[in-house]
C-alpha cells in the first residue's frame, strides 16, 4: 500500500537527536517547499520525539531561506518540561545553513470552563461551491494537494477598474487531496493554505513569501478525529501592509463550528 503524499512528505527518521527528512515534489511551492508542509514537518519532529508529553498548543516557524530539493535535518530540543507544558526549540537545516528556526509548546489539557468567543461565519455548504480548478491555473504544485473551494477572496488578475479590493477577507473550504483523516500535522499545513493577502487586495500576483508563521491549537485529538475527511473552513484577513511586509490573522473551523486553530503570519511582499 502506498502512503498518502502528505505522510510521505512529512516522514522523518530519527537518529541520535536529529531527524532526517526529504523534500517532496508533491508539495513544491514556487521556490522550495510549501511553507505549510515545512511547518507540519517541524511539528512532526516534536510529536515523534521520544520525550514529548502532551499535544500541540502553539508553534512558531520562521522561514529563513528556501529549502533546497533533497534531504534536510531537524533538531527538536525540549528546552523545558513542566507538569502541564513542554517547551521546544526547533531548527531545520541543510549542511551548515539554518533554513527554519522555530519554537513549539505541547501541553496536557484538563477540563475547564470553555467558550468560543469568535463567531462562525455564515457560509454556503461545501457541496455548493466549486473546487479550484488547479489544472488550468499557473499555481504551484502544493495547491493540487488540496481541494480548495473559495467562497470569497480569490485573486483575479483580470479584474477591471477599480482593480483593488477594499479588503482581503478570504473564506474557503479546504481539505487534503486525496482525502486523509485530519490530525495535528494536516491541520498545521492547512493553516498556511491561504494565498498571500496582498494578491487578493491588489488582484495581482507578485513576489510574496511567509517570513514567520504562528499557530495556536484549540483542539484535542478526539476533535480532529471527529472531523475525519470533512473540509475545514479557513477564514483569513490582512491587517496591515507596510513597506514590504504584511500580516494576516486567520481561523480554521470545523464544518460544525468548532474553532480548531488560530494562526497569524507576517509575509514579505514586493510591488
Please check whether residue 171 is in contact with residue 123, taking contact to mean a CB–CB distance below 8 angstroms. Answer: yes
Q: Interface with its own copies includes 163 (CB under 8 A)?
A: no
**What mask of x and - would describe binding to its own copies in positions 5 to 44, judged by CB under 8 A?**
----------------------------------------
Q: How many residues bind its own copies (CB under 8 A)?
A: 65
Q: How far is the CB of 177 from its own copies (least distance, A)?
A: 28
In what helix (H) or strand (E) does residue 269 lie, and over which residues does it extend? strand 259-269
Considering only the stretches 1-9, 85-93, 132-140, 188-196, report the one whose residues sit in contact with its own copies under the rule CB under 8 A: 85-93
Look at residues 173, 170, 165 and name the one whose alpha carbon lies nearest to residue 124.
173
Q: Which of 51, 128, 239, 257 binds its own copies (CB under 8 A)?
A: 239
The angle formed by the CA atoms of residues 22, 57 and 185, to the nearest 5 degrees, is 30
Q: Interface with its own copies includes 259 (CB under 8 A)?
A: yes
Q: Which of 2, 95, 111, 136 binds its own copies (CB under 8 A)?
A: 111
Q: Which of 16, 137, 243, 256 binds its own copies (CB under 8 A)?
A: 243
Q: Per-residue b/e over 155-176, b at no fewer than 16 CB within 10 Å?
A: beeeeeeeeebeebbbbbbbbb
Q: How far is the CB of 56 from its own copies (least distance, A)?
A: 11
In what helix (H) or strand (E) does residue 58 lie, and over which residues does it extend? strand 55-63
Question: What's the rounded Cα separation, in Å, for the pair 28 and 190?
Answer: 15
Nearer to its own copies, 79 or 137 (CB): 79
| Number of CB atoms found within 10 A of residue 239's CB | 13
Q: Interface with its own copies includes 175 (CB under 8 A)?
A: no
Nearer to its own copies, 4 or 268 (CB): 268
Please check whether residue 214 is in contact with residue 60, taking contact to mean a CB–CB distance below 8 angstroms. Answer: yes
Phi/psi at 14 (nearest 5 deg)?
A: -120, 125
**What mask of x and - would describe binding to its own copies in positions 188 to 207, judged by CB under 8 A?**
---------x---xx-----
In what helix (H) or strand (E) does residue 75 lie, and over which residues does it extend? strand 71-81
Phi/psi at 266 (nearest 5 deg)?
A: -115, 135
C-alpha cell at 91: 531548527
Q: Interface with its own copies includes 58 (CB under 8 A)?
A: yes
Q: What is the CA radius of gyration of the chain?
A: 18
Q: Which parts of this chain interact with its own copies (CB under 8 A)?
A: 57-58, 60, 62, 64-65, 79-80, 82, 84-85, 87-89, 91, 97-99, 101-103, 105, 107, 109-118, 167-168, 197, 201-202, 211-212, 214, 216, 218-220, 237-245, 247, 249, 251, 259, 262, 264, 266, 268-271
Amino acid at each position: 500500500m502506498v502512503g498518502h503524499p502528505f505522510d510521505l512528505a512529512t516522514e522523518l527518521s530519527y537518529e541520535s537527536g536529529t531527524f532526517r527528512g526529504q523534500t517532496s515534489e508533491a508539495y513544491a511551492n514556487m521556490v522550495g517547499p510549501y511553507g505549510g508542509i515545512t511547518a507540519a514537518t517541524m511539528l512532526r519532529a516534536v510529536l515523534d520525539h521520544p520525550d514529548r508529553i502532551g499535544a500541540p498548543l502553539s508553534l512558531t516557524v520562521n522561514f529563513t531561506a528556501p529549502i533546497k530539493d533533497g534531504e534536510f535535518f531537524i533538531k527538536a530540543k525540549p528546552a523545558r518540561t513542566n507538569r502541564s507544558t513542554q517547551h521546544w526549540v526547533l531548527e531545520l537545516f541543510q549542511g551548515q545553513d539554518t533554513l527554519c528556526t522555530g519554537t513549539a509548546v505541547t501541553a496536557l489539557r484538563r477540563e475547564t470552563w470553555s467558550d468560543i468567543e469568535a463567531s462562525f461565519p455564515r457560509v454556503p455548504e461545501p457541496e455548493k461551491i466549486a473546487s479550484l480548478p488547479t489544472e488550468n491555473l499557473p499555481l504551484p504544485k502544493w495547491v493540487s494537494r488540496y481541494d480548495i473551494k473559495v467562497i470569497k477572496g480569490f485573486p483575479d488578475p483580470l479584474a477591471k477598474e477599480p482593480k483593488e479590493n477594499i479588503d482581503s477577507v478570504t473564506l474557503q473550504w479546504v481539505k487534503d487531496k486525496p482525502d486523509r483523516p485530519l490530525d495535528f500535522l494536516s491541520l498545521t499545513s492547512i493553516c498556511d493554505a491561504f494565498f498571500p493577502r496582498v494578491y487578493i487586495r491588489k488582484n495581482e500576483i507578485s513576489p510574496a513569501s511567509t517570513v514567520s508563521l504562528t499557530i495556536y491549537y484549540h483542539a484535542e485529538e478526539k476533535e480532529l478525529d471527529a472531523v475525519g475527511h470533512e473540509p475545514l473552513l479557513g477564514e483569513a484577513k490582512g491587517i496591515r501592509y507596510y513597506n514590504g511586509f504584511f500580516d494576516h490573522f486567520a481561523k480554521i473551523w470545523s464544518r460544525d463550528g468548532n474553532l480548531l486553530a488560530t494562526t497569524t503570519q507576517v509575509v514579505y511582499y514586493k510591488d
